[in-house]
Amino acid sequence: MLKRSLVSVVDDDESVRESLPDLLKEFGFAVQAFSSAEAFLASGYVDQTRCLILDAAMPGMTGQDLQQELMLRRKKIPIVFITGHRDDTIRPRVLEQGAVACLFKPFSDTALLDALNDALRMN
């Protein structure tokens, strides 16, 4: 089997950082989880990341801030936004900025898998 694609998870919620990596591993991805955007940027995984699963609302740098930052750094990582806020304005905003998908928590495993497949197709 080929080297598994790296999916990075950035979310300040610990339960997400616990549960999501297990599911992603079940899907067959390699996973790195970060508690903040700053931690992700500071890690050495930015360039290896094939897909970024990003929480929209976080203290300090928000999901959208990170999206902007990556654009500025010309890192074209496909982003799947996840958010607990059922805010209808966020989805068009992030999609317009190039995000692959925006999932509202709670989302099903298949919805996530579909979004991941879309993201990996972009690579």
Positions touching other proteins (CB under 8 A) are 12-13, 15-16, 18-20, 22-23, 26, 56-62, 65, 82-87, 104-109
CB of 48 to other proteins, least distance (A): 23
CB of 26 to other proteins, least distance (A): 4
Nearer to other proteins, 25 or 73 (CB): 25
CB of 44 to other proteins, least distance (A): 25
Secondary structure string (H, E, C) spanning the chain: CCCCCEEEEECCCHHHHHHHHHHHHHHCCEEEEECCHHHHHHCCCCCCEEEEEEECCCCCCCHHHHHHHHHHCCCCCCEEEEECCCCCCHHHHHHHCCCCEEEECCCCHHHHHHHHHHHHHHC
